[in-house]
Structure 1
Amino acid sequence: MTAKTEQTIARLDTLLDDSIAAVFALAEADALPLGDDTLPLYDVLRYHLGFLDADLRPERGDMGKRMRPKLCAYSCLAAGGALEQAVPVAAAIELLHNFTLVHDDIQDRSLLRRHRPTVWSRWGEAQAINAGDAMFVLAHLALNLLSDEQIDPSVIVRLSTALHHTTLRIVEGQVLDLSFEPRLDVTTTEYLRMISGKTVDIFQYATWAGAQVAGAGNDRATRFGDFGRALGTAFQLHDDILGIWGPSNATGKDAGDIARRKKTYPVVLLFERADADDRERLFSLYADDEIDAAGQANVLRLMDEYDIRHDAEDEVRRWHARARAALDVAQPVQPGRSLLEDVLRQLEVRTK
């Protein structure tokens, strides 16, 4: 990574922080007076985002990879735009993503997020739902800041409409994901359809929106979106691998996708591959509410026997290759091209 690339990344982080702060300021300017004994809603959001510690004191905590807003901003550069043009929509994407995390942690009963207690485990489920709802609204408010960047109003409307549709696809994907939990017959086709909404659509939106604010035509913006869709698929499949074989101290989340019986890609692949006897064993293990340590060991043994990890990693590599090919088709320009290629390389080898 060159010094210039590092400067661009640092500058984007600063611009994102400033844009998110501006959205909070807009919301808090006419907020209800909640009182000293009421949940400090906006500070809870700042905590989740990494701006405050668990005692709601200022800190620069783990803010995650900020992958989606980076893809938006870098796609804007790669389509010939300026970094500043993309920042409001990049901030909207980051806030929308974090809205989904707050609610996902409740549904998954996750106690940790980025090495810290999740919002629901710290302040309770009901208030965490409120916090997630507020984050969702802030995401859509962030798009209003595009008017400060002299973006054509018709583009802002297009971006806003697409963000609403992306949000619906995320929710639909989550509905599918939860519906998979009691099922033992989920197919890889169904699984890929589920992640196309829950995870992939926001990647596609990020790269498409970045090209849109840069002034790219619809066809070229769609090609950037195709890149995001392939990259998002690779990202989620890789995440599923880390959810089973990645250490929790690296991911910053609770380990144990097998323990919680989550129907991630390796598990779905195993159910498809297993012979009749092994499927019966799996049915027995997955009939319980949670799989104990001995059961987890049995599932991992079966995954070894059926080469599940190897084949899942091969599938990730195929999607990364598709992403690289799609990026070439989009004809990105510098410096955005190098930044997007750096993201690709980082995701190919990530351990968290």
Structure 2
Amino acid sequence: MRRFCSCNIMDTPEEGALCFPLSNHSCRKIPRSQSEATVIYTLLSSITFITVFLNLLVIVSIHHFRQLHSCTNLLLLSLAVSDFLVGFLQMPFQIFYYHGCWYLGDFACALNNFSSFLVVSASVGNMVLISVDRYIAVCEPMSYHAKVTSGRVKVCICLCWMFSSLHAVWILRDLLGEPDVYNSCVGECVIIVNYAEGMVDLVVTFLAPIMVISYLYLRVFGVAVSHSRAMRSQISSVTVGPVSVTIPKTEMKAAKTLGLLVIVFLLCSCPYYCFTVAADSNLFGASSGEAELWLIYFNSCINPIIYVFCYPWFRKTVKIILTLKIFKTDSCEAKVL
């Protein structure tokens, strides 16, 4: 995923103070009013805390309670880990860089960019795996337990993280070899991705996943509708008069969950990728991509709500965790389903 520098080294001395006053090659801070900075820091810090807190609850719940040790929940756990890292690593660093100054050095900048590519790609990959899992569960229920085993799910999760790591290394190969290769002044943290690499990133982390997720969602929705029609036809054959038939709960839940996934993923991702395409055409300046980047990060705050808050077991585990009953003997054996 392409990253843009938020600092502008062409500012005049009156427009912003130096990041490193003792250095003749220092970048300049982006001028921000006190009121604007207070509002932005408060808002972004709140989003960061919620992202970390919610995903940490998911991780603890699935890891601790044995009733939740299922194949589907393994995927939810992997997703929660990637989203937790977005909140724990990427969001704080982005807040830290709000004034356009990077004080942690070139090596930390390279690692920050690497972890950004890694966790966002892993988050998207985990969403695809969850969509596949729900598709098999709804569309091929008779063969679900034969096809979806704990071993296969763990292998898929490992491959997802390995692929995300390789993708990040490939995109950042120049930066990892020479951390300050793209920096033009001291205190800058910037990554430049050429057009070809940007197109690969666009396909790998946006177009391909959204096509797979959308296709699987449409198939799940189609199965739910066909089952509803079959039930209506069967009941109508033995019942006189109009009959109200509902779609089975499990299928409807899967359809709603995947539908929310597609909608939120599109809402959070489309603005950023539209921006990057426009930036390649010189329609926008690079420094204007900060809001779009935060919108992608915000998706990691929404994911636990979409995937977990819909399930009653999560409310039970949260109550046990927050009331500290989790520290009781054999709390891992508690019935939460």
> Could you tell me the TM-score, scaled by structure 1's length?
0.28
Q: Which of 1 and 2 has greater Rg?
A: 2
> Could you tell me the TM-score, scaled by structure 2's length?
0.29
Greater relative contact order (Cα < 8 A, sep 6+): 2
